[in-house]
Amino acid sequence: MDNLDELVQIFAKASDPRTVRKLFEELMTRSELEDMSKRWYLMKELYQGKPQRKIAEEMEISLCRITRGSKILKQDNSEFKKILSSMFDDQYHI
């Protein structure tokens, strides 16, 4: 088992959100945590239909970074797409 697989197993076993947050905080720097949080925010914005250029302006990030998220959401087997669908489809009638 490689290191990434080990980390996945550790996070999968952590059922308490406080434990997962603490693991994130112990493993990553503040900058890495902020980056991950921003990436999640942009995925939510994309899923809800906000234009990429508007997201880039508001978040002050490159279109390349946003394009990656957009490509992920276009994949039929995207786990993020499934999660976002369960979060927003009823609310936005998507």
58: tokens are: 């508001």
Mean pLDDT by 10 residues, the chain (94 residues): 94 94 97 96 95 95 92 94 90 55
pTM: 0.84
48: tokens are: 């809800």
Instruction: Give me the pLDDT at residue 93, please.
Output: 45
Instruction: Give me the pLDDT at residue 92, please.
Output: 57
Q: What is the DSSP string of 22-84?
A: HHHHHHS-HHHHHHHHHHHHHHHHHHTT--HHHHHHHHT--HHHHHHHHHHHHSTT-HHHHHH
Instruction: Give me the pLDDT at residue 89, please.
Output: 84
